[in-house]
Amino acid sequence: MSESDVIIAKDQTMPTGQVSLIARSAILIASLVFVLMMAVGLLLRSVQGGFVTIAPDMFYKLMTLHGVGMVGAAGLAGFAVMWYFLNKYVALSKAMFLAFLGTFLIGVVVIIGSIMIGGFGGAWTFLYPLPVQSGGVWEAQAAILFLVGLLLIGVAFLLGYLDVGRALIKEYGSLAKSIGWPALFGNAEAPPPTIVASTAVTIVNVIGTVAGAAIILMSIFNAIAPTFSVDALLAKNLTYFFGHVFINASIYMTVMAVYEIVPLYTGRAWKSSKIFLIGWTITLFMVMAVYPHHLFQDLAMPPWLLVAGQIGSYVSGIPVIAITTLALFGYLFKSGARWDLSLSLLVLGVFGWAGGVIPAIIDGIISVNKVMHNTMWVPGHFHFYLLIGMVSMAFGFMVWIGRQGTASAFRGVEKLSFAAYVIGGLGLVAMFLISGANSVPRRWAEHLVQWQSYSQLATVFAVITVLGAIAMLFYGIAGAAKTATKT
Amino acid sequence: MQQFALLTSLILIFGVIAGFLYVAINTSQAGDKAEIQQSINTLRTKTLWLMIGVGVPLTLALAYRWPHAPEGFQGEPITVSAESGQWYWNLSQFELPVGTPIVFELTTVDVNHGFGVYDEEFELVTQAQAMPGYTNKLNYVFKKPGLYTVACLEYCGVAHHAMLAEIDVVDPVTYANNQSNE
Ligand code: HEM
Ligand SMILES: [Cu+2]
C-alpha cells in the first residue's frame, strides 16, 4: 500500500451480506445495460453522421431500444441505490426486491422481443396512437407486446415502491413524517436525507407509474379494439407526466449515493437541514407540476397550464443548483478528502445534473421552445443530466460498493478512463446542443448533408465515452469479483 | 434566438464548471469546518435570492408577451389548411406572401406530427404540433421571401425524416397576381 492509497471508508452501519450482494448484482446489471445501450447510441450517431448505413426502420427500432433500455436501466440503477441505503434505516423485504427484479427482467425480455422480433419502432414514449398506427411497418401485436412489457416494468416498480412505502410508514409513522414535515413546520428531529428523498420519490413515482399504467392500458385496449379511442391530448398529458416523473425520480434515487458516500470521504455528515427539507418538499410538487413544458407546442393546451409549466420548469431547477450543488461544495471544500475513482464519479454526477438543468430551463421558456422543441437540443439537455449526471453517480456507487474498506489509489489508468468519460460525455452533449441550436431535428434517421459534420464529431466523442464506460464497468466487475472471493 | 440560447447556456454551464473546478482543487486541503459552513450558507442565501428575485420575474416577463402570438400579427390573416398524414403534408396553398399574418390550421389524419417551418438557410423559424382530433392554429408572419421547407418535428414512424414540403414565400404583389391568375 503506497502513500497515495486511500482506504475507502467503511461505515459500520452500511448494509452487508445479502443486501449488499443483491444491490451489487442490480447495479452491475444496470451498468451492463448502460454500456450496451451506449454502443447502440454510438451506432445511431454514426448513422446520422453518414459513417454507417442502415435502413430507417432499423434505425428507429434501435432508437426505441436505446431509449427504453436506458430509461429502464436508469430506474433500476436508481432503485438499487435507494434500496441499498434504505436498508440502513428501515426493514425492507428482500423477497420483494427479488420480485421487483424478476418482474422487471421479464418485462425487459418481452420488450426486446417486441422490438427485435416484432419490429416495434414506436419510440420509448409510445405516443398514442403511433404504436397501433405504424403505417404498416409493424403489427399491432408487436405494439401490444411492447406495451405489456412496459406494464410489467411498471408493476415491478409498484411492487418495489409499495414495500418502500410500507417500510417508511412502519418506521416513521407516516410519509408526512418521513419527508420531514414535523421538522420543517415544527422542531421535531428531521429524518436522514436518504429517508426524506426516498419518501418524495416513492410518492411521485407511485403516482407517475399509475398514470403511465393508465395510458398503457388504454393504448392496449385501443390496439385490441380500435373502436375504443383515447383523446390524443389526454394521452399526451399522461405520457409526458409519466415520462417526466419517472426519469427525474431515477436521478433523485441515484443522488442518495452522494448523500451517503461523500461523507465517508469528507468526514462531514450530509444533514437534513431546513433548506434541505424545503427543497425536497418543493421538488415533490414541482416534479409533478412541470411536465406541461413538454406540451408547449400543443396549441390546444390551456395557456395558463403552459405558463405554469414555464415557471415550474425554472423553479424546479433551483433546488438542484442552490441546495444540492452548494451543499456538496460546502462538504467538499477543504475537507481533506482524497480523490479516488468513486468520489470523482459521484461529484461528476452532481455536476452533470446541475449542468443539464441549464439547457433544460432555457428550453423551458415557451418562446425559445418555439424554435428548439424537438430539435437535438432536447437530447442535448437530457444526455447532460443522464449520461454525465445520473449514470456517473450510478457508476460511482458501483465502484464504491465493490471496494468498500479496501485500499485504493486513484491510479493512472483510472484517471485516464475517468477523463475519457468526462471528455467524451461533454463533447457528445455539446454536439447535441450545438446541433439543436442549428435547428437539427431530433429523431431523424437520415440527416441533411449540411448537418452531418455535427454527428461525425459526436461519433468521435461517443467512441471515447463508450471506452470510458467500458472501463468503469470493468472496475465495477473487478470490485465485485474481489469482494466475492473475500467472503 | 437559437444562437442566443446556446450562448446563454454555455456561459452558465461554464460558470458551473468553474465552481466545480474551484471546489475540486481545494478539496484535499484542510480547513475549518464551521467557517466553511458559514460561508456556504451566505452563498446559498445569495444564490436563492438571485434565482428567485431575478429569475422568477424574468421568466414571468418572458411569458408575458404571449409567444404563440407573434409580433406584427395584425390585419386580416390568410388561412392555410395544413393536413398531415403518414408521411405527407397537404397544404391548401404552397405559395404565401411575405409580411402578412398567416394562420396555419394544422390537422392530422392519423398520428401526431410536428409542423416545423425552416427558412432557406435551414433555420427553424416556427413550429406547432398537429394532433389527432384537434385543429391547432399556428400564427406566423414570414419575415423574408424565399423557399421554406416544412419538416416533421414529431416522431411519426419510419418515414418521419422524409416528411417534407415546400412553401414559396414571395412579395405580396407577386402573390396577389398569382392568386388572380388562378
Ligand atoms: C455513449 C453514450 C450515448 C450515445 C452516443 C447516445 C446517443 C443517442 C442518440 C444518437 C440518440 C438519438 C438522438 C436523436 O436523433 O433524437 C439518443 C437518444 C436517447 N438517449 Fe442516448 N446516447 C448515449 C447515452 C445515453 C444515456 C446514458 C442515456 C440515459 C441513461 C440515454 C438516453 C437516451 C434517451 C432516453 C433517448 C431518446 C430516445 C428517443 O428519442 O426515443 N442515452 N441517444
Ligand atoms: Cu414525423
Residue B127, C-beta contacts closer than 8 angstroms, at least 6 positions apart:
A297, A370, A371, A373, A374, B114, B115, B116, B117, B138, B153
Tell me which chain B residue has its CA closest to the CA of residue A451.
Answer: B122
What is the grid cell recorded at B173? 404583389
Q: How far is the C-alpha of A89 from the C-alpha of A77, rounded, in Å?
A: 20
The pLDDT of residue A1: 36
**Mean pLDDT of each 10-residue bin along chain A, 487 residues long:** 51 84 95 97 97 96 97 97 96 95 96 96 95 93 96 96 97 96 93 97 96 95 89 94 95 97 93 94 91 85 85 88 93 93 97 96 90 96 97 97 80 95 98 97 96 97 98 92 66
Chain centroid offset of residue A380 CA: 15
The residue nearest atom 6 of ligand 1, judged by CA position, is: A41
Query: Regarding predicted confidence, which is higher, A4 or B162?
Result: B162
DSSP chain B: -HHHHHHHHHHHHHHHHHHHHHHHHHSSSB--HHHHHHHHHHHHHHHHHHIIIIIHHHHHHHHHS-TTS-TT--SSPEEEEEEEETTEEEES-SEEETTSEEEEEEEESSS-EEEEEE-TT--EEEEEEE-TT--EEEEEE--S-EEEEEEE-S--STTGGG-EEEEEEE-HHHHHHHHHH-
Q: Which B residues, 149 through 168, put their C-beta within 8 Å of a C-beta on chain A?
A: 151-162
Q: Which A residues, 107 through 146, put their C-beta within 8 Å of a C-beta on chain B?
A: 121-123, 127, 129-130, 133-135, 137
Are the C-beta atoms of A313 and A245 separated by less than 8 Å?
no
Smallest CA–CA distance, residue B170 to chain A, in Å, is 23
Are the C-beta atoms of A102 and A207 separated by less than 8 Å?
no
The pLDDT of residue A387: 98
Rama region for A45: left / alpha / beta (φ>0; ψ in -120 to 50; rest): alpha
CB contact under 8 A, A358 and B51: no
CB contact under 8 A, B1 and A367: yes
Cβ contacts (< 8 Å) between B42 and chain A: which residues?
Answer: none
Smallest CA–CA distance, residue A407 to chain B, in Å, is 17
The pLDDT of residue A247: 95
The sign of the CA dihedral A433, A439, A442, A448 is negative
Q: How far is the C-alpha of A85 from the C-alpha of A436, rounded, in Å?
A: 38
Give the three-class secondary structure for A347.
helix
Q: How far is the C-alpha of A71 from the C-alpha of B93, rounded, in Å?
A: 42
The candidate with the shortest Cα–Cα distance to A293, out of A203, A227, A359, is A359
Q: Provide CATH code, domain B78-181.
A: 2.60.40.420
CA of A45 to the centre of ligand 1 (A): 9
For residue B143, give Cα distances in angstroms to A221, A368, A445, B146.
46, 18, 31, 10
Q: How far is the C-alpha of B140 from the C-alpha of B83, rounded, in Å?
A: 17
CB contact under 8 A, A332 and B24: yes
Q: Provide CATH code, domain A6-486.
A: 1.20.210.10
Residue identified by cell 427500432 is A61
The pLDDT of residue A407: 67
Identify the nearest ligand to the CA of B160 by its number.
2
Are the C-beta atoms of A120 and A48 separated by less than 8 Å?
no
pLDDT at B101 over 50: yes
Residue identified by cell 445520473 is A390
Tell me which chain B residue has its CA closest to the CA of residue A444.
Answer: B161
Q: pLDDT tens, B104-153? A: 999 999 999 999 999 999 999 999 999 999 999 999 999 999 999 999 99
Cβ contacts (< 8 Å) between A236 and chain B: which residues?
Answer: 112, 131
The residue nearest atom 19 of ligand 1, judged by CA position, is: A67
Residue B144, C-beta contacts closer than 8 angstroms, at least 6 positions apart:
B98, B119, B120, B169
Q: How far is the C-alpha of B111 from the C-alpha of B130, rounded, in Å?
A: 8
Are the C-beta atoms of A154 and A213 separated by less than 8 Å?
yes
Give the three-class secondary structure for A295.
coil
State whether residue B180 sits within 8 Å of chain A by CB. Answer: no
CB contact under 8 A, A358 and B16: yes
Question: How many CB pairs (< 8 A) connect A and B?
Answer: 231
What are the extents of the domains in chain B? 33-64, 78-181
The residue nearest atom 4 of ligand 1, judged by CA position, is: A41
Neighbours of A487 (CB within 10 A): 9
Helices A232-254 and A193-224: crossing angle, nearest 10°?
A: 150
Question: What is the predicted ipTM?
Answer: 0.94
The pLDDT of residue A458: 98
State whether residue B112 sits within 8 Å of chain A by CB. Answer: yes
Q: How far is the C-alpha of A238 from the C-alpha of A215, rounded, in Å?
A: 6
State whether residue B61 sits within 8 Å of chain A by CB. Answer: no
Are the C-beta atoms of A377 and A437 separated by less than 8 Å?
yes
The pLDDT of residue A8: 59
The pLDDT of residue A226: 84
Are the C-beta atoms of A146 and A254 separated by less than 8 Å?
no
Q: Where are the alpha helices (DSSP H) in A364-451?
A: 366-372, 377-383, 391-403, 412-437
Q: CB under 6 Å to ligand 1: residues? A: A 34, 38, 41-42, 44-45, 63, 66-67, 70-71, 74, 123-124, 379, 383, 386-387, 391, 428, 442-444, 462, 465-466
The candidate with the shortest Cα–Cα distance to A132, out of B111, B171, B118, is B111
Q: How far is the C-alpha of A85 from the C-alpha of A197, rounded, in Å?
A: 11
CB contact under 8 A, A297 and B114: yes
Helices A140-172 and A56-86: crossing angle, nearest 10°?
A: 10
Q: How far is the C-alpha of B20 from the C-alpha of B72, rounded, in Å?
A: 45
CB contact under 8 A, A371 and B127: yes
What are the extents of the domains in chain A? 6-486
Identify the nearest ligand to the CA of A123 by its number.
1
The sign of the CA dihedral A103, A109, A115, A119 is negative
CB contact under 8 A, B67 and A366: yes
User: Could you say which of B56, B110, B161 has the minimum Cβ distance to residue A445?
Assistant: B161
Q: How far is the C-alpha of B159 from the C-alpha of A161, rounded, in Å?
A: 39
